[in-house]
């Protein structure tokens, strides 16, 4: 921030008094004006520098957040890929088991059909 403005309250009060302002009133004006001018003053250049600084900080935080999000995305993608491979392997094992089971069912059905045809033909020939 910019340094406060230097102000001589005693000299100001004397000038007011010499201009006809009552002494008490002149001192009150000098004290009030001294407090106002003695407080820190922000100038446009300082605000612009602060804005640049804040924008830089925001950009840095944004980059950190982006980096973390990218890392989490990679981590989740890796986990999802691993789970997908496990799931595919289980489905393949189930398909093989069911495929083998179905072969037995087809073979048994074929045998039953042939036996029934044999019985039917035997019955028909009698």
* Contact yes or no for 52/65 (Cβ under 8 A): no
Q: Can you tell me the distance from the alpha carbon of 2 to that of 30, in angstroms, rounded to the nearest whole number?
A: 22
Over residues 44-66, the pLDDT tens digits come to: 788 899 999 999 999 999 999 99
Confidence at residue 96, expressed as pLDDT on a 0 to 100 scale = 73
Nearest to residue 29, comparing CAs of 14, 40, 44? 14
99 token code pair = 């495929």
Over residues 105-124, the pLDDT tens digits come to: 888 898 999 998 888 888 88
* Contact yes or no for 14/27 (Cβ under 8 A): no
Per the prediction, the chain carries an average pLDDT of: 87
């Amino acid at each position: 921030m910019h340094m406060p403005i230097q102000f001589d309250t005693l000299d100001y009060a004397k000038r007011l008094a010499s201009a006809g302002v009552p002494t008490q009133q002149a001192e009150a004006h000098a004290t009030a004006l001294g407090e106002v001018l003695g407080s820190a003053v922000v100038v446009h250049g300082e605000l612009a520098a602060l804005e640049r600084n804040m924008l830089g900080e925001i950009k840095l935080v944004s980059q950190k957040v982006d980096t973390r999000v990218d890392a989490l995305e990679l981590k989740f993608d890796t986990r999802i890929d691993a789970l997908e491979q496990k799931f595919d392997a289980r489905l393949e094992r189930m398909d093989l088991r069911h495929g083998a089971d179905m072969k037995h069912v087809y073979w048994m059905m074929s045998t039953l059909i042939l036996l029934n045809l044999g019985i039917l033909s035997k019955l028909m020939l009698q």
